[in-house]
């Protein structure tokens, strides 16, 4: 180590230092939001490289989004540059000339960080597959080559649809291909094979799914394609079965780091285990036991259970990753207990909210900051006035001045559909905004077309992509011709490309209609001559010129085609950038990037704009001011979650994530009436979460009724047993009155929030929530130092006191 007073360590507290300096053996960092987990992880990588002579080649760092990976790499670049400035030149960074600073940074990127594998699970393990997929031995004899295509949701669904409708001759109304695809995906996320499903299936529907799963894999293999789930599942099977492959990656990645560990699923967990366990039986450690594995997470921020994420994986870490160099003790644990992000009012509000969850590990999260402002409640008549209230706030906080700072604001919502009304209001006031999570750049028609050409050029088995471009731009190939050829390809069990490349069989099958097809094969064969020696950018350029795609757009001259041309230019720019940033920038690598890039990664953020995104997308980020919108029962928490305690707890974690994104201000908005799913406006009930934040931290009361028309819909009926009068009253009462609304009968007893009960084991307690109603009722009861429990009053030994 160069010097003790290291630059990298300066901005860290003691607990973070312990985490950063802990080099060997497994380590778990658990801590609440904004406590510097991601910062500790980044500094740890820099410390490994700079002070412990670890080659970046030996580091694997997993982030939750591509964008986070990019930011972390940029951060590392600066950290290392600063560290070098101090250690090697004996000069603080700030005293170096700008030219020297830039030079240092560029050198670091090119020389030191290129080999560092940092990215999402999908990006990292698809990269691994590009090296080793050909070594995979499938139990059913299926094969893939390293040129595999990655199918997005639309492509994979097309395959499933074909399988269900054509191969299995099932009625798509009874067996919805979307549902079947989801079930297959779910199985893959839990590391189940088609065989596993078959063995477990005890009803017809499950058997159909197992069968569809098997056929779907065969079909993917025929296309030499993988879906997103395979990018993780195949590496699991490969690493399990091949000692040499596992040993190679194990030896390479001597340091493994994972951010947001609470949102890993079983398959991802298995990958981490395999990579760290090395050349021994899976799940058993031997000489590699002291492997440096570093994970950080917060169980209270686990919000992806619908993608099979399971925060018990985080909780089990210490047991799972024993430390052999230390008597096989449990993995070390570091807790970070200071929050650096939010003002203390915001933090107290978030902490109070999350305490209402019963499935959690209690932890300390102290504020390091001043009290700050109260959280502000915006009670609005309907969704339109909610949007207006938000834009008014935005403007007033900017003092209606001429140089407003919009980038300090984020508007978060539970469902994407909520963004439309918000956008309209922002447009009306000419407030620039960037909306994340919309159509992916790579999903635009023209971009998908161009990428499909690339896919076919490297992977001629990819029928789905071939069918997409065979007549684009138009070559006079009719639908019947395509259908005939496709049938022939299926019958002969050879890729469509080979069918159309065989002139003789082409003439026999479609006779004179082969003109357009010949044009297409000539084009593709011509392009194939370039593929060996050109990078993705040049090939794309050739595709667009030689196919006539660009000239078609030019001739049309419409505004829309102008847009499309710009997008294609942008695609070429992306390919050029990829070539500059990547060590071996081949076409396959670019295709992986194109498949896995999300809207958030490519978005050209207006440098000064308001951010609009879902609460899910906001994880890990921070903003000065945050609006959390639509705080109404049935919207947030979502309709699906209200009767299911575990789902409701996940919604509460989502709300915790939302609130803790803010540094200075939080605005909580709800509308008393809202139009949902394009139907009639309906009266709403304020979100239960509003009642869980201490009143004294909130500025604002539920206003007097603005004459909202109250309709009891099915959902409200299920939610509460209030009648119109109660509901009206609740709207007219201050916010904490909402608590009183949740009540339900049981064994003839009607429970109310605030009722005192006695439990034979836990003693005295107070009802803090009532979930569901009628037969489905359960009570959340807070028992002094025993914490909160969710109980079924018909079974639990409790009585009212």
Query: CB-wise, 598 or 705, nearer to Mg ion?
Result: 598
User: Which residues in the 564-623 window bind ligand ATP by CB under 6 A?
Assistant: 620, 622
Peptide bond before residue 473 is cis, with ω within 30 degrees of 0: yes
Catalytic residue among 132, 155, 230, 260: 260
CA–CA separation, 475 and 23 (whole Å):
61
The entry of Mg ion, ligand ATP, none near residue 465 (CB within 5 to 8 angstroms by kind) is: none
Catalytic-residue membership of 260:
yes
Exposure class string for 166-179: b at 16+ Cβ within 10 A, else e: eeeebeeeebebee
Q: Which of 225, 217, 155 has its CA nearest to residue 188?
A: 217
CB atoms under 10 Å from CB of 503, counted, come to: 12
Q: Is 737 annotated as a binding residue?
A: no
CA–CA separation, 733 and 222 (whole Å):
64
Q: Would the CA dihedral through 541, 547, 552, 555 be positive or negative?
A: positive
The count of chain residues that interact with Mg ion, using the rule CB under 5 A, is 3
Q: What are phi and psi of 332, to 5 degrees?
A: -70, 155
- What is the closest distance, in whole angstroms, from the C-beta atom of residue 666 to Mg ion in the complex? 18
Q: Is 31 annotated as a binding residue?
A: yes
- The only residue of 6, 8, 20, 39 in contact with ligand ATP, by rule CB under 6 A: 39
The entry of Mg ion, ligand ATP, none near residue 26 (CB within 5 to 8 angstroms by kind) is: none
Query: CB-wise, 46 or 470, nearer to ligand ATP?
Result: 46
Query: CB-wise, 537 or 626, nearer to ligand ATP?
Result: 626
CA–CA separation, 669 and 686 (whole Å):
9
Contact 475, 520 (CB under 8 A): yes
CA–CA separation, 224 and 144 (whole Å):
5
Catalytic-residue membership of 38:
yes
Contact mark string toward ligand ATP, 453..492, x via CB under 6 A: ----------------------------------------
- What is the closest distance, in whole angstroms, from the C-beta atom of residue 65 to Mg ion in the complex? 11
User: Which residues in the 301-330 window bind ligand ATP by CB under 6 A?
Assistant: 301
The count of chain residues that interact with ligand ATP, using the rule CB under 6 A, is 19
Single out the segment in contact with ligand ATP by CB under 6 A; choices: 34-42, 573-581, 591-599, 679-687: 34-42
Cβ contacts of 670 within 8 Å, gap of 6 or more: 377, 378, 379, 380, 386, 630, 631, 632, 684, 686, 687, 690
The strand pair at 623-628 and 338-339 is best described as: unpaired
Catalytic-residue membership of 407:
no
- What is the closest distance, in whole angstroms, from the C-beta atom of residue 63 to Mg ion in the complex? 9
The yes or no reply on residue 35 touching ligand ATP (CB under 6 A) is yes
- What is the closest distance, in whole angstroms, from the C-beta atom of residue 600 to ligand ATP in the complex? 16
Query: CB-wise, 338 or 692, nearer to ligand ATP?
Result: 338
The yes or no reply on residue 340 touching ligand ATP (CB under 6 A) is yes
- What is the closest distance, in whole angstroms, from the C-beta atom of residue 11 to ligand ATP in the complex? 5
CB atoms under 10 Å from CB of 392, counted, come to: 14
Query: CB-wise, 570 or 622, nearer to ligand ATP?
Result: 622
Catalytic residue among 83, 211, 259, 601: 259
- The only residue of 16, 38, 345, 357 in contact with Mg ion, by rule CB under 5 A: 38
The strand pair at 610-614 and 409-413 is best described as: parallel
Peptide bond before residue 637 is cis, with ω within 30 degrees of 0: yes
CA–CA separation, 147 and 128 (whole Å):
13
Q: Is 765 annotated as a binding residue?
A: no
Name the residue number minimizing CB distance to ligand ATP. 36
Query: CB-wise, 38 or 434, nearer to ligand ATP?
Result: 38
- What is the closest distance, in whole angstroms, from the C-beta atom of residue 264 to Mg ion in the complex? 14
Contact 34, 369 (CB under 8 A): no
- What is the closest distance, in whole angstroms, from the C-beta atom of residue 286 to Mg ion in the complex? 33
CA–CA separation, 620 and 21 (whole Å):
23
Contact 8, 50 (CB under 8 A): yes
- What is the closest distance, in whole angstroms, from the C-beta atom of residue 375 to ligand ATP in the complex? 18
Query: CB-wise, 39 or 181, nearer to ligand ATP?
Result: 39
Catalytic-residue membership of 392:
no
User: Which residues in the 261-290 window bind ligand ATP by CB under 6 A?
Assistant: none
CA–CA separation, 392 and 425 (whole Å):
10
Single out the segment in contact with Mg ion by CB under 5 A; choices: 45-53, 454-462, 612-620, 668-676: 612-620
CA–CA separation, 148 and 591 (whole Å):
9
Q: What are phi and psi of 754, to 5 degrees?
A: 100, -15
The yes or no reply on residue 658 touching ligand ATP (CB under 6 A) is no
Q: Is 535 annotated as a binding residue?
A: no
HSE on the CB side for 36, CA within 13 Å? 25
Q: Which of 320, 205, 210 has its CA nearest to residue 261?
A: 320
- What is the closest distance, in whole angstroms, from the C-beta atom of residue 621 to Mg ion in the complex? 9
The distance in angstroms from the start CA to the end CA of the chain is 65
Single out the segment in contact with Mg ion by CB under 5 A; choices: 36-44, 656-664, 682-690, 733-741: 36-44
Contact mark string toward Mg ion, 614..633, x via CB under 5 A: ------x-------------
CA–CA separation, 294 and 296 (whole Å):
7
CA–CA separation, 348 and 733 (whole Å):
24
For residue 632, CA distances in Å to 78, 458, 544, 550, 652 come to 43, 50, 50, 49, 13
Q: Which of 61, 101, 59 has its CA nearest to residue 80?
A: 101
The yes or no reply on residue 33 touching ligand ATP (CB under 6 A) is yes
Token output for 615:
């609460």
The yes or no reply on residue 38 touching ligand ATP (CB under 6 A) is yes
User: Which residues in the 108-127 window bind ligand ATP by CB under 6 A?
Assistant: none
Q: Is 764 annotated as a binding residue?
A: no
Single out the segment in contact with ligand ATP by CB under 6 A; choices: 35-43, 65-73, 223-231, 372-380: 35-43
Q: Write the Ramachandran bin of 670: left for phi over 0, alpha for psi from -120 to 50, otherwise beta.
A: beta
- The only residue of 6, 7, 8, 16 in contact with ligand ATP, by rule CB under 6 A: 16
For residue 484, CA distances in Å to 237, 409, 511, 520 come to 37, 56, 12, 17
Query: CB-wise, 26 or 620, nearer to Mg ion?
Result: 620
Beta bridge partners of 376: 667, 699
Q: Is 38 annotated as a binding residue?
A: yes
- The only residue of 6, 7, 8, 12 in contact with ligand ATP, by rule CB under 6 A: 12
The entry of ligand ATP, Mg ion, none near residue 267 (CB within 5 to 8 angstroms by kind) is: none
Query: CB-wise, 45 or 716, nearer to ligand ATP?
Result: 45
Single out the segment in contact with ligand ATP by CB under 6 A; choices: 29-37, 484-492, 523-531, 664-672: 29-37
- The only residue of 25, 34, 404, 589 in contact with ligand ATP, by rule CB under 6 A: 34
Catalytic residue among 67, 73, 246, 661: 661
Name the residue number minimizing CB distance to Mg ion. 38
Query: CB-wise, 39 or 250, nearer to ligand ATP?
Result: 39
Catalytic-residue membership of 188:
no
Query: CB-wise, 620 or 772, nearer to Mg ion?
Result: 620
CA–CA separation, 123 and 17 (whole Å):
30
- Interacting residues with Mg ion (CB under 5 A): 37-38, 620
Give binding residues for ATP as ranges. 31-38
Give binding residues as ranges. 31-38
Active-site positions?
A: 37-38, 259-260, 301, 661
- Interacting residues with ligand ATP (CB under 6 A): 11-13, 16, 31, 33-39, 298, 301, 340-341, 620, 622, 660
């Amino acid at each position: 180590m160069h010097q003790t007073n290291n630059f990298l360590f300066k901005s860290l507290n003691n607990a973070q230092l312990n985490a950063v300096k802990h080099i060997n053996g497994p380590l778990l960092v658990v801590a609440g939001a904004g406590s510097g987990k991601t910062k500790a992880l980044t500094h740890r990588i820099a410390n490994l490289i700079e002070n412990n002579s670890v080659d970046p080649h030996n580091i694997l760092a997993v982030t939750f989004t591509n964008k986070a990976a990019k930011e972390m790499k940029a951060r590392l670049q600066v950290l290392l540059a600063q560290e070098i400035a101090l250690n090697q030149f004996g000069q603080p960074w700030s005293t170096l000339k700008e030219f020297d600073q830039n030079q240092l940074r560029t050198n670091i990127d090119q020389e030191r960080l290129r080999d560092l594998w940092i990215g999402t699970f999908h990006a990292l393990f698809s990269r691994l597959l590009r090296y080793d997929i050909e070594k995979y031995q499938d139990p059913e004899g299926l094969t893939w080559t390293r040129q595999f295509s990655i199918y997005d949701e639309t492509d994979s669904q097309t395959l499933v649809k074909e399988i269900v409708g054509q191969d299995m001759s099932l009625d798509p109304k009874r067996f919805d291909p979307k549902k079947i695809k989801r079930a297959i995906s779910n199985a893959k996320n839990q590391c189940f094979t088609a065989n596993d499903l078959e063995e477990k299936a005890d009803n017809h529907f499950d058997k159909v799914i197992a069968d569809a799963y098997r056929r779907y894999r065969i079909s993917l293999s025929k296309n030499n394609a993988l879906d997103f789930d395979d990018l993780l599942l195949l590496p699991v099977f490969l690493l399990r079965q091949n000692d040499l492959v596992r040993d190679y990656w194990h030896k390479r990645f001597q340091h493994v780091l994972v951010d947001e560990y609470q949102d890993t699923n079983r398959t991802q967990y298995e990958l981490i285990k395999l990579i760290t366990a090395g050349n021994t039986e899976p799940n058993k450690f031997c000489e590699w036991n002291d492997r440096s594995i570093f994970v950080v997470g917060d169980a209270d921020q686990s919000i992806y259970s619908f993608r099979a994420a399971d925060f018990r994986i985080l909780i089990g870490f210490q047991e799972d990753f024993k430390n052999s160099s230390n008597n096989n003790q449990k993995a070390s644990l570091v807790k970070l207990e200071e929050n650096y992000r939010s003002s203390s009012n915001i933090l107290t509000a978030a902490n109070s909210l999350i305490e209402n969850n019963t499935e959690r590990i209690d932890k300390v999260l102290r504020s390091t900051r001043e009290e700050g402002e109260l959280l502000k409640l915006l009670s609005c008549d309907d969704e339109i006035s909610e949007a207006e209230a938000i834009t008014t706030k935005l403007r007033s906080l900017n003092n209606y001045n001429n140089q407003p700072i919009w980038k300090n604001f984020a508007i978060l919502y539970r469902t994407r559909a909520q963004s439309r009304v918000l956008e309209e209001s922002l447009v009306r006031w000419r407030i620039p905004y960037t909306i994340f999570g919309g159509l992916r750049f790579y999903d635009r028609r023209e971009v998908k077309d161009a990428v499909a050409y690339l896919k076919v050029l490297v992977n001629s088995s990819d029928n789905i992509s071939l069918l997409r471009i065979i007549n684009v731009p138009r070559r006079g190939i009719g639908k019947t011709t395509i259908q005939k050829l496709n049938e022939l390809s299926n019958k002969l069990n050879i890729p469509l490309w080979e069918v159309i490349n065989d002139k003789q069989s082409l003439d026999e099958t479609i006779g004179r209609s082969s003109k357009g097809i010949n044009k297409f094969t000539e084009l593709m064969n011509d392009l194939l001559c370039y593929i060996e020696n050109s990078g993705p950018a040049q090939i794309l350029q050739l595709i667009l010129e030689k196919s006539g795609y660009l000239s078609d757009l030019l001739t049309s001259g419409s505004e829309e085609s102008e847009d499309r041309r710009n997008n294609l230019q942008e695609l070429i720019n992306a390919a050029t950038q990829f070539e500059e940033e990547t060590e071996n920038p081949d076409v396959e690598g670019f295709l992986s990037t194109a498949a896995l890039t999300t809207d958030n990664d490519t978005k050209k953020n207006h440098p000064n704009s308001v951010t609009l995104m879902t609460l899910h997308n906001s994880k890990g980020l921070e903003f000065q001011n945050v609006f959390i919108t639509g705080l109404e029962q049935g919207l947030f928490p979502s309709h699906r979650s209200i009767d299911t305690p575990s789902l409701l707890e996940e919604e509460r974690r989502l709300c915790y994530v939302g609130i803790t994104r803010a540094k200075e201000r939080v605005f909580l908005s709800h509308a008393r009436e809202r139009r949902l799913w394009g139907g009639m406006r309906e009266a709403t009930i304020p979100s239960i979460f509003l009642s869980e934040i201490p009143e004294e931290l909130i500025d604002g009361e539920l206003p007097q009724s603005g004459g909202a028309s109250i309709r009891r819909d099915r959902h409200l009926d299920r939610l509460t047993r209030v009648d119109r009068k109660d509901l009206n009253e609740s709207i007219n009462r201050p916010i904490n009155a909402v608590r009183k609304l949740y009540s339900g009968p049981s064994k003839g007893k009607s429970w109310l929030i605030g009722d005192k009960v006695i439990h034979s084991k836990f003693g005295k307690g107070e009802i803090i929530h009532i979930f569901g109603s009628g037969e489905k009722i359960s009570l959340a009861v807070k028992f002094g130092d025993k914490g909160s429990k969710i109980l079924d009053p018909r079974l639990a030994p409790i009585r009212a006191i």
